[in-house]
Amino acid sequence: MLRADEVGARNAKRLLVVGELALDVLQLLSGELIAVVRLLRARIKLLQLTEDALRLGPFGR
């Protein structure tokens, strides 16, 4: 018989797999977040380039 603070081997293995799945989901979500942030940064840089070109106007030629 197990004590209250002990977990059976089968249950521990299941909990380990559930924990690994949770980590996999977090890694997937963080990868998607990084991709979105990179896309936003690229768009911001494009807007900044456009603003710089407009600001230079005839002086840039």
* pLDDT tens by residue, the chain, 61 residues: 667 776 665 666 777 777 888 888 899 999 999 999 999 999 999 999 988 888 887 765 5
| H helical segments located in the chain | 9-56
Q: What is the CA radius of gyration of the chain?
A: 26
d(CA 46, CA 60): 17
Please say whether the beta carbons of 60 and 53 come within 8 A.
yes
pLDDT at 38: 95
Whole-angstrom Cα distance, residue 50 to residue 44? Answer: 10
